[in-house]
Amino acid sequence: MNKIVTITLIVLVAIAGIWFFTRGEQAAPATANPEPAAAESDVVIDVKGIDFAFDTTEITVNEGDVVTINFESTEGFHDWVVDEFRAGSRQVRPGTPTSVTFTADKAGTYEYYCSVGHHRAAGMVGTLTVVEAQ
Ligand SMILES: [Cu+2]
């Protein structure tokens, strides 16, 4: 008699387990949320700094876009600055990524650069193009 009770309990636990895990798998995609920065910005761009250049030297966005630059140094001490939008990241070393968000509210062509030491003069620059809204 005890064997029958034990087997019945094992079967019930197995069924409950299968039900629980199946339910968990189905629920998982619904709880996934997008990155907060991506949700609030129209454009998110990854830029890396090396000595003495950016891996991305041309960035084009539309007038009015909220732009987030995710900046990371892979070599040396750098930042990402564009004066016309008063936007500048923290100055960082490798292993400490940072980001800066600004609104590109004026159409035109602007230079972005690294403000550390002589890096800008050494050519650590790029071009931000803001395309006029139609
Ligand atoms: Cu630099």
Q: Which helix (H) or strand (E) holds 15?
A: helix 2-31
Which residues place a Cβ less than 5 A from the ion ligand 1?
A: 78, 114, 116, 119, 124
Instruction: Find the 30 Cα to ligand 1 centroid distance in Å.
Output: 42
42 shares its domain with 97: yes
CATH code, 93: 2.60.40.420
Bridge partners (DSSP) listed for residue 73: 49
Q: Among all chains, which residue has been given the structure tokens 């395309």?
A: 131
Predicted pLDDT at 3: 74
Tell me which residue range forms the domain holding 21.
Answer: 1-32
- What's the pLDDT at 9? 56
Query: What ranges make up the beta strands (E) of the chain?
Result: 43-50, 53-54, 58-62, 66-73, 81-82, 87-88, 98-103, 108-113, 125-131
Output the CA 73–ligand 1 centroid distance in Å. Answer: 8
Q: What spacing in Å lies between the alpha carbon of 84 and ligand 1's midpoint?
A: 19
Rounded to the nearest angstrom, the distance between the alpha carbon of 42 and the centre of ligand 1 is: 26
Looking at the fold, whether 23 and 44 belong to one and the same domain comes out as no
| DSSP assignment string, 69-93 | EEEEESSSSB--EEGGGTEEPPPB-
Q: How many angstroms is it from 2 CA to the middle of ligand 1?
A: 76
Structural domain tally of the chain?
2
What pLDDT was estimated at residue 7? 52
Are 74 and 124 in a shared domain? Answer: yes
Output the pLDDT for position 30. Answer: 44
DSSP character for 116?
S
- Alpha carbon distance 68, 38 (integer Å): 8
Could you report the average pLDDT of every consecutive run of 10 residues in the chain (134 residues)?
A: 62 58 48 50 97 97 98 98 98 98 98 98 98 92
Cβ atoms within 10 Å, residue 30: 6
